[in-house]
Structure 1
Amino acid sequence: MGVPMDIVQTIEDAARAQSPPLLILDRVAEFLDACHLGTGPVHARRIGEGQSNVTFRIKRRGAHVVLRRGPRPPLPPSTHDMVREARIQSLLAPLGIPVPKILATCADANVLGVPFYIMKFVDGEVVTDAVPAHLDTLAQRRATSEAAADMLVKLHSVDATSGPRAEIGRPEGYLKRQVARFAGLWDLVATRELPEVAQLARWLEGNRPETQRHAVIHGDYRLGNLMFARQGPAQVKAVLDWEMATVGDPLADLGYLSATYSQAGSTATLLELSPVTALPGYLDRAGMAARYNAHFNLDLSALPWYEALALWKAAIFSEAIYTRWKNGERADGERFGAALEAGVPELLAAAAAHAARLP
């Protein structure tokens, strides 16, 4: 099986490729020219750990930007909407939520095969499997956890019911729609039988809690989607990856943060992409939830339901990645793709374990 190329120079190069490239540099240059973003040759390299949408750091004379696009088509319906993702960040920026500045959006799929957007490059640190030196004291490890919890509080404190925020989504029925949408998505992306998916879908619907409040929610809120300042005490410079943002139940964000947050003594899953938080100094899951809830005073007794929802959804979109990998549509992530054969069932088992904790 050949490996598809991510980046080519010209449309002629793209025509000779075995599958559509992710970037055609001449096309990118033309788009940047039209937007008055720098001049001259375009230099690009893939960045980030994203296993779904794809991000490239772009440099040319007078411009240092980031291009974000979806994976190669075909894409499941209502996914990888880059135009919407850019719009959400533009709406949140004036409200004090730190997001990259959106510079341009391209809805024309003829340029790169899918829509994409350009944002200003943010220089910072993402905490994953190594701790930046200036954040590697017990005090700063705790401060990093606290900053993550506090940023979620800040997001969930945004007025979600008036003005342009109402464009982001409709809160009524959010949890019911999530279960139905992802149950249907499994049928579109899966190539194997895993009956636990349907079993958990029935359990989630049968035990669905009442939403206590509505908020703008991120949908993929975890430490790996926060960019911290390179110097000084722990400070979030930007919240990244807004594809799944909407208006809904804020405990879905807290449940996702908790379920994907590494802590000592717990069984890890492939979604725990910042394993450093199992080290001494970082708050544990209960500590993160308590710091968050000090601001809202919600009933957290159903948090295991939200954690189960998070990992069940993660198993489904991970299966989509696994299917694309098996079909030879991913040029990177060889180890990650292979790991999903067992990793998806492990996510479903972890989701079931959270479900068993529901009072």
Structure 2
Amino acid sequence: MSSVHPPGLDLDRLRGHLDRERPGLVSGPLSGRLIEGGRSNLTYSVTDGTSRWVVRRPPLGHVLATAHDMKREHRVINALYGTAVPVPAPVLLCEDDSVIGSPFYVMEFVDGTPYRTADELAALGPRRTRDAVLALVDTLVDLHAVDPASAGLADFGRPEGFLDRQLRRWGKQLDASRNRELAGIDELHAALGRSLPASPAPTVVHGDYRLDNVLIGSDDAIKAVLDWEMSTLGDPLTDLGLLVMYSAPLGLPESPVSTTAGAPGHPAPQELIERYGARSGRDTSAISWYTAFAWFKLAVILEGIHYRYTLGQTVGAGFDRIGDLVPVFIEHGLTTLKEG
């Protein structure tokens, strides 16, 4: 009997491939469901009734999604598995489009909760919220302590000129979605360019490190860090800057983009910075630049979503309010840079 296939994943073909590559791994018919969609890679939960796995593949009909994306994500998880950084156990990478129509990889399913909003965190209570957020900082320190060469990731990125390249990249992204006047965004971009800090020694960088990209177990420990599609070798303080940004209150109760900052017990950004500095031994004195850069990057991402909304290319609720958020992010970026 043929399985009911979630969109983009032929379970019979997946089963055949797993049986060929990992004989004995699967012990019954596969069933599966799509966990999340959107503009990033697609994630499926798959089970044979006994064991569970996760399958990741590029978005449907996304012509630019190449095997490189899957290979890169699988490579970093494979490299970090067995280090102090919790990641799911990798099962296999398939770069052959003929199996399910695109490259994909399989990893173990990890039980845990991604906390996305202050309200979700509030349910944990102040002490557990505090512990979870501090564990997030400690895990980031562990990630940045991994020696890229020892992990087989010496050629995983080009750390020289990393910040300059990042700033230019996001400037180009902004230009690609410009269809309205945005007060202050060019000023913010230029000010960031004028005050580039000197980067510390490069590390593996996650690229989108925040609470809802980790799974927290029932014991409040971080069970897995997920979503490695932006990872590379670069300046570790970009990860800290983004984490600090997501830990700052937006001041917008009805925002479609949430930070976790309002939850009772959530440590203040300064405590996160001090804990990271003390545990990593890195100089965090330029963190205002990295946090302002995170505000700029998010402003550009949100403007891109708003741009697609104005063209009628977004599906779902909440997109009509994204455009109003962009000036708030720009203002936060300018204020943060001036305070630095």
Whichever residue aligns with residue 168 of structure 2, its letter is A
Q: How does 1:98-117 map to 2 (within 5 A)?
A: 98-117=86-105
Quote the Cα distance in structure 2 between the aligned partners of 1:202 and 1:239. Answer: 33
Give, in angstroms, the shift of residue 352 of structure 1: 2.9
Decide whether the 8 Å contact of 1:103 with 1:120 is kept in 2: yes
Q: For residue 100 of structure 1, what is the amino acid of its counterpart?
A: P
Taking the aligned partners of 2:233 and 2:157, their CA distance within structure 1 comes to: 5
- Residue 244 of structure 1 aligns to a residue in which SS? coil
Determine the structure 2 residue equivalent to 1:47.
35
- Change beyond 3 A, Cα 1:257–1:61: same
Determine which of 269, 292, 311 is the counterpart of 2:276: 292
Q: 1:169, 1:192 → 2: CA distance?
A: 33
Give the unaligned 5+ runs of structure 1: 1-7, 11-20
Unaligned stretches of 5+ in structure 2?
A: none
CA contact (8 A) 1:81 1:243 kept: yes
Secondary structure, in 3 states, of the residue corresponding to 2:240?
A: helix
Distance 2:98 2:179 in 1: 33
Query: Residue 206 of structure 1 is aligned with which of 181, 184, 194?
Result: 194
Letter aligned with residue 310 of structure 1:
A
Q: Deviations over 1:236-258 (max 9, x none)?
A: 11111111111211111110000
Pair 96,297 (structure 1): closer, same or farther in 2 beyond 3 Å = closer
1:181-234: CA deviation from partner (whole Å, max 9, x where unpaired): 22223444x26245555443322222111113322211111111111122x3x2
> Contact 1:262–1:272 (CA<8 Å) still a contact in 2?
no
Q: Deviation digits for residues 151-186 of structure 1, max 9, x if unmatched?
A: 111111112355512132232211111112222234
Q: How does 1:19-168 map to 2 (within 5 A)?
A: 21-36=7-22, 37-38=25-26, 41-48=29-36, 52-74=40-62, 81-129=69-117, 130-131=119-120, 136-162=124-150, 164-168=152-156
**Amino acid across the alignment from 2:205:** I
2:330 aligns with 348
Q: Which residue of 2 aligns with 1:238?
A: 224
1:143 Cα deviation after fit: 1.3
Contact 1:125 1:132 in 2 (8 A): no
**Cα distance in 2 for residues equivalent to 1:324 and 1:22:** 23
Counterparts of 1:3-18 in structure 2 under 5 Å?
9=5
Q: CA distance change for structure 1 residues 337 and 57 in 2, over 3 Å: closer, same or farther? A: farther
Aligned residues, how many?
333
Distance 2:164 2:120 in 1: 38
Inter-partner Cα distance in structure 1 for 2:68 and 2:314: 16
TM-score (norm 1): 0.79
Q: What TM-score comes out, normalization by structure 2 length?
A: 0.83
Shift of 1:326: 6.3
Partners of 1:49 and 1:350 in 2: CA distance? 29
1:72 maps to a residue whose letter is L
Match of 2:243 among 254, 257, 282: 257
Answer yes or no: is the 8 Å Cα contact 1:67–1:118 preserved in 2.
yes
Identity fraction in percent: 34
